[in-house]
Structure 1
Amino acid sequence: MMDLQLIADAMKKEEHLVLVGHAAPDGDCVGSLLGLFLGLRELGKTVEAYLADKIPAQYYYLKGADQIRLPEGILARGTTVVFVDCGDAERVGDTFLPDLAQRGTTFNLDHHRGNPLFGTHNYVDVEAAATAEIIYELLTALQVPITPDIAQALFAGIVMDTGSFMNGNTTGKSLRIAADLIDAGVDINHSRINLFESKPRAEVVLIARALDNLEISPDGTMAWISLPYEEVAQVGALDLFPETLINYTRMIDGVEVGMLFREIKPGIVKVGFRSKGRVDVASLARQFGGGGHLQAAGARQSGSLPEVIERVLEVVKDVMA
């Protein structure tokens, strides 16, 4: 891993940068991407930001959210790519990969364990609770003033990846950076309303349907939610990915590992893992080609929803035995 100042110095030399985050973007991905996007523009750089999927509506309030593009014509624009919050290059999504494989200089800014350091320039800090913390430190190294808009974006990233500072990954640094961002102009009330109190009706219906599908293992140590594609489509929630939904599985007394099985299209299932701390779900997710953190991880699996659930539960049972 390179020194962050060396990353900053290398980035200063670039005039045109293409920023990409991971598919099915979450709060840390969106907040980090926008924080860096706005910060580099403060330096007078030509910057573009791309995501393979639409950002969730709860992040529309962030400055620059309307300038994040879907991957159309990316190959014709610029040669320098910055991967933000991507545990590996494939996390950007299948749409991007053919184009990005032909790029030159790449920056890899991330905090996921198991990141293979795939960039020309890599900065991966697995102790960071959120990639947004890394972006804050990078912008500081670049001597970019933290504007209220930048602060708002990075604060959202940290809040969402720390579970509002309640997850075990929260550190003193997380809180110190959050305090600096608040001092820089974060509107706490505006953040709370948009992040947690402005859900589309379809999302609330989806949560209700998900809780109807919640199951608990006989010994009470595992809980999981299954969401078939047809059910999600029926409630009009195909584009909705509520980040806190999986937490209902972990909050049950006695449960050590919670899971969410969501069929994102027929034959493809997205699996989310949450742990109270005893089980390393990042290691668990890697057995299925995924990754993440000690208490929060994910993977994708091919197969029918019942097949994937059976396959994953068998492995989790063995790990917990």
Structure 2
Amino acid sequence: MTASKAEITRILAEIDNGSSFLITSHESPDPDAVGSSLALANYLSGRGKDVTVYLSDPVPDNCSFLPMADQVYAEMPERDFDVCFVLDVGEFRRAGKAVTGNKRIGRLINIDHHLGCENFGVCNLIDPKASATAALIHRIIKAAGDEVDYPAALCIYTAILSDTGSFHYSNSDPEAFAIAGEMIDKGVNAWDVNENLYESEPLQRIALLALALSDLTVSPSGEYASVTVTLDMYEKTGANAQDTDRFINYPRSIRGVQVALFFRQIEEGLFKVGFRSKGKMDVSAVSASFGGGGHHNAAGCTVKGTLAEVKALVFDRLEQMR
């Protein structure tokens, strides 16, 4: 039995033996965080379990169509749980203080596909080769001998579609396509998912994108390019951090660019930096040099300083590590 199969066996034992489950993911949740959480929630609910989903930040508008999205808690319930599933966080701290400092949430089960993910759970199902955390949820359901019902299928398909960049990224492996096909067989409408994820944009998001692209920066070599969102831009447009999803794809799409960057201001003097590589450079190594983490082709970190200082520091580091 492989390590992954052994972990799944242990997770299934935890599910069988537990009655109350908390499910959570990282701050600023993306469609994989939301989709994998809600897929697991729908599955456990179908097995008659007491299930609570808590996210420290709101469900993004483009994921609000997913089953149980309207039941996600914005505040941590004051109660005890037998088991807490922590999904897609990479580092435990990214689950937020309401989780990391909570002694009432029970036994931790860590499910993730980030390279270098911390082993903080009693069970740690970590596979950096998985296309999305939702693919691991699919493995758990199938290992239990259960069928994926429509609500869970919709969540799993949405998560994998998003995390593979609509099957454009290098993590679009045979398993991802096989799961997607299976979910379509379960009744998932590919067009409906695409429309909800990508073609129902709020006006403030497009206004924010226009400002972000106005700060498009390309390195002299043409190999690195970035866009930026500042606090002032949020104020001008009425948008927020949730509206910045996929902004990094615009500099990434430029011919010759090997690494795209997204500088997102969190507060005065502090920026979140996202990296996307086309494969030539391991951006997880660049991110780690700033105390961050991620995958070979997708990573992130936070850097202190003014925008000019942060951009100069990060671009210089890229040149040093090329």
Q: TM-score range by the shorter chain?
A: over 0.9
Aligned residue for 2:27?
Answer: 23
Distance 1:239 1:281, change over 3 A: closer
Q: What is the Cα deviation at residue 245 of structure 1?
A: 1.0
TM-score w.r.t. structure 2 length? 0.94
Consecutive unaligned residues of structure 2, counting only runs of 5 or more, are: none
Aligned residue for 1:291?
Answer: 293
Does the aligned pair in 2 maintain the 1:147–1:185 contact within 8 Å?
Answer: no
Q: Which moved more, 1:277-286 or 1:6-15?
A: 6-15
Does the aligned pair in 1 maintain the 2:138–2:156 contact within 8 Å?
Answer: yes
1:265-276 aligned within 5 A: 265-276=267-278
- Counterpart secondary structure, 2:58: coil
Does the aligned pair in 1 maintain the 2:270–2:303 contact within 8 Å?
Answer: yes
Asked if 1:233 is matched to 2:229, the reply is no
Distance 1:65 1:103, change over 3 A: closer
Aligned residue for 1:215?
Answer: 217
Q: What is the Cα deviation at residue 265 of structure 1?
A: 2.4
Stretches (4+) displaced over 4 A:
none
Q: Deviations over 1:183-213 (max 9, x none)?
A: 1111112101101100000001111111111
Q: Which moved more, 1:113-122 or 1:224-233?
A: 224-233
Q: What is the Cα deviation at residue 239 of structure 1?
A: 4.2
Does the aligned pair in 2 maintain the 1:50–1:71 contact within 8 Å?
Answer: yes
Distance in 2, matches of 1:207 and 1:239, equals 12
1:166-315 aligned within 5 A: 166-315=168-317
Distance in 1, matches of 2:77 and 2:176, equals 37
Distance in 1, matches of 2:140 and 2:234, equals 39
Q: Which moved more, 1:269-278 or 1:236-245?
A: 236-245
Aligned residue for 1:316?
Answer: 318
- Counterpart secondary structure, 2:242: coil
Asked if 1:5 is matched to 2:2, the reply is no
TM-score w.r.t. structure 1 length? 0.95
Does the aligned pair in 1 maintain the 2:35–2:155 contact within 8 Å?
Answer: yes
Percent identical among aligned pairs is 34
Does the aligned pair in 2 maintain the 1:71–1:96 contact within 8 Å?
Answer: no
Distance in 2, matches of 1:205 and 1:227, equals 11
Which of 147, 164, 167 is the equivalent residue of 2:166? 164
Q: What is the Cα deviation at residue 104 of structure 1?
A: 3.7
Q: Which moved more, 1:262-271 or 1:297-306?
A: 297-306
Give the partner amino acid of 2:175: K
- Counterpart secondary structure, 1:240: helix
Give the partner amino acid of 2:91: D
Give the partner amino acid of 1:140: K
- Counterpart secondary structure, 2:226: strand
The Cα RMSD (Å) is 1.5
Q: Which moved more, 1:244-253 or 1:302-311?
A: 302-311
